[in-house]
Amino acid sequence: MKRLNPDNCSVVIFHNQGEELQETLELLHKVFSDVIVKSRQDEVLAELDAQQAKDKRSTLLLIDAESCRMPSPDDCPDLLLTVVRLLMQNAIRNVVPIVCSSLDSPSFMVKCLEQGAADFVLKPLSQDVIKTLFLNVTRYQVKRIKEDSSAVETNKGQIWSKFKDRLKGVFLKEDRLSKLVADFYTPKPSVRRSSMASMLSDRKEYLKSQICSWDFLPLELDDKDLIQVVYMILDQVLCTFDQLDSLRVPSGDLYHFIFDICNSYHSANPYHNFRHAVDVLQAIYYFLCQIGALEPMCPEMGGKKEKVEHPLLQLLEPLDIFALLMASIGHDVGHPGVNNLFMVNTSTPLAILYNDRSVLESFHAMSFFHLLQQHCFSSLTDIRANPDYAIFRKIVVNSILATDMSMHDEYVQNIQEQAQRIKRQGIDLSDKAACEKDKILLCGALIKCADISNCARPFPLAKAWAKILAEEFFEQGDLEKELGMAVLPIHQRGKICLEDFQITFKKFVALKLFEAVSQVTSQMQFTVDAIYDNINQWEIMKTERASPLNHIQPAPDGTPARPRPGI
């Protein structure tokens, strides 16, 4: 390791407060030759990149906590969290984050260190403190090396040493998983974590009414709204059930978790982006309210009290409900915008890793669980800390895997059989294994409905989603064409009209599922009715398009009308 002294450290300061920085800067310049001040977080990240490109020097990053306004004053600075995440992913190296603040609170100081700060210093910085700041570089590197090497060596018994070499490969260290998921984590500078605190209560009320409506249209919401929607749903569930009180976390921690989920979706995908995830989460929330498993956050929505208790409801514990909601928001994380067949046909490393089976869904489930491990819900993912680990993981993983459409018919058949069996003989609560199987199937059925709930939304919404999905299919087709691969008709522009694309999917894929689920729980019947309505609407559009009048009717300006092009 290069011998350290202040000369081979640069200092980047994040500071955008009105208060005078001049004095501190003078002191810093006496010790360090390279001191840079940045007032915006994106500029800081760019500067850290630039510093690395220059040489292999270490960079001390001084984060002025007061420059990062957070949802609550004792929340960790969002810049710290972003930098620590980038360090863990090896996306940046040799950066040592230090928080400086005038908040003289031991719990805040400890929290910053726990979240990955190398040190915490009180403002104003004195000459003595500044002189020793560079020591953090050594301390931070030593800490990281120690963490790396201690991951597997926790148990040093005799049998362990016999197995050690064989188990080395399968005890994947967390940072290796981090590297796997790092590539799709793209911080979106447009939404600042601190900005959540400023959302007006009118806006929150509007979002609440949206959450409770089947007319929910996330296409009209921006990322900040979408994050707030997720927050409101998770927060409500955590606060409703006493059984979940150990999972209640400070609001800032919950926001950070949701921000990182948002950042783990590719916004360049027309369809499989954070909006779709929030849409699926809202659909699940709506279904759970309809079937009486949740009390809606808007009393006017009705729900729990008016509904007759369904036998399956007795199976859903609060943690199961929470797991299903979590699975919904995480079910497509890191989606690349191309489908499983593409992953297999191009023999991507992910397809090799998962043996061509549910490649994307396996990847989403793995990545999402990894995200959970890194946040305030990490206790849920720790087999030693959480007695309900097994069932929580089972619901999250199985529900995400259930969204693989290649298993659709198998699921539909299982749901139909479940409906008939329950009608015939009810549920035997003493048969724990059977109950768990039923519960997993119910969660799979609900998330499947939520995943393709677009086609059961009111027609204008269903149409908007259909166009977006078609665009994603076409973009995959464009790519396949460029790669010289075979392209399916639904991926070719202008080949199949939007009406046929939708009518076929609804009649032959979606209806079977929604009808089966409505057999299990009649409160879902409204989705079947909506799909029939939408099929009618698409049929009408198709007839209008095919009508000879459409071809010969002159346009108002007298020029002959042309047949409308395909999608």
DSSP tag of 197: G
461 near ligand 5GP, rule: CB under 6 A: no
Site stretch for ligand 5GP (CB under 6 A), options 159-167, 452-460, 478-486, 552-560: 452-460
Binding of Mn ion at residue 332 (CB under 5 A)? yes
Q: Residues binding ligand 5GP: what is the number (CB under 6 A)? A: 13
- The answer to whether 32 and 6 have CB atoms below 8 angstroms apart is yes
Beta carbons within 10 angstroms of residue 175's beta carbon: 16
Interface segment toward ligand 5GP; rule CB under 6 A; list 4-12, 164-172, 186-194, 451-459:
451-459
134: helix, strand or coil? coil
Structure tokens at 532: 């029939």
* Edge-to-edge order in the sheet of strand 34-38: 34-38, 9-14, 58-64, 95-101, 119-122
Can residue 535 be called a binding residue for ligand 5GP (CB under 6 A)? no
Which helix (H) or strand (E) segment is 59 a member of? strand 58-64
451 touches ligand 5GP (CB under 6 A) = yes
Annotated binding site: 272-276, 331-332, 451, 502
Quote the CA–CA distance of 411 and 446 in Å, as a whole number: 11
Site for Mn ion in 462-521 (CB under 5 A): none
**CB atoms inside a 10 Å sphere around CB 174:** 14
What are the two backbone dihedrals, phi and then psi, of residue 370, each rounded to the nearest 5 degrees? -65, -40
Paired tokens of 444 = 């799979």
Q: How far is the CB of 224 from Mn ion (least distance, A)?
A: 22
Sequential DSSP letters for 479-535: HHHHTT----GGGSTTTS-HHHHHHHHIIIIIHHHHHHHHHH-GGGHHHHHHHHHHH
Single-letter amino acid, residue 256? H
- Of 339 and 381, which CB lies nearer to Mn ion in the complex structure? 339
d(CA 508, CA 564): 26
* 108 or 532: CB nearest ligand 5GP: 532
C-alpha 532: how far from chain center: 32
The CB-of-539 to ligand 5GP minimum distance in angstroms stands at 15
Q: Which does 386 bind (CB under 5 to 8 A by kind): Mn ion, ligand 5GP, none?
A: none
Q: Choose which of 455, 498, 516, 528 interacts with ligand 5GP (CB under 6 A).
A: 455
Q: Going by C-beta distance under 8 Å and a sequence separation of 6 or more, which residues neighbour residue 64?
A: 13, 14, 15, 16, 17, 100, 101, 123
The smaller minimum CB distance to Mn ion, of residues 63 and 283, is found at: 283
530 near ligand 5GP (CB under 6 A): no
Asked whether position 404 contacts Mn ion by CB under 5 A, the answer is no
Smallest gap from residue 403 Cβ to ligand 5GP (A):
4
The answer to the question of residue 501 lying near ligand 5GP (CB under 6 A) is: yes
Active centre residues (catalytic): 272
Choose which of 181, 227, 281, 466 interacts with ligand 5GP (CB under 6 A).
466
Q: Does 78 bind Mn ion (CB under 5 A)?
A: no
Nearest-approach distance from CB 300 to Mn ion, in angstroms = 29
* Least spacing, CB of residue 328 vs ligand 5GP, in Å: 10
Looking at the Cβ atoms of 194 and 328, the one nearer to Mn ion is 328
Q: Which of residues 391-410 bind ligand 5GP (CB under 6 A)?
A: 403, 405
**Cα–Cα nearest to 394, from 451, 435, 452, 333:** 435
The CA distance from 96 to 62, in Å, is: 8
The site partner of 501 among ligand 5GP, Mn ion, none (C-beta below 5 to 8 Å per kind) is ligand 5GP
Label residue 254 exposed, middle or buried (CB < 10 Å: 0-12, 13-18, 19+).
Answer: buried
451 binds Mn ion (CB under 5 A): yes
Of the candidates 186, 166, 207, the one whose C-alpha atom is nearest the C-alpha of residue 45 is 186
Tokens found for residue 107 = 């719990």
Q: Which stretch binds Mn ion (CB under 5 A): 67-75, 350-358, 444-452, 523-531?
A: 444-452
Binding residues for Zn(2+): 276, 331-332, 451
From ligand 5GP, Mn ion, none, which one binds at residue 454 (CB under 5 to 8 Å depending on kind)?
A: ligand 5GP
Residues that bind Mn ion (CB under 5 A): 332, 451
Instruction: Please report, as ranges, the residues that interact with ligand 5GP according to CB under 6 A.
Output: 272, 332, 403, 405, 451-452, 454-455, 466, 469, 501-502, 505
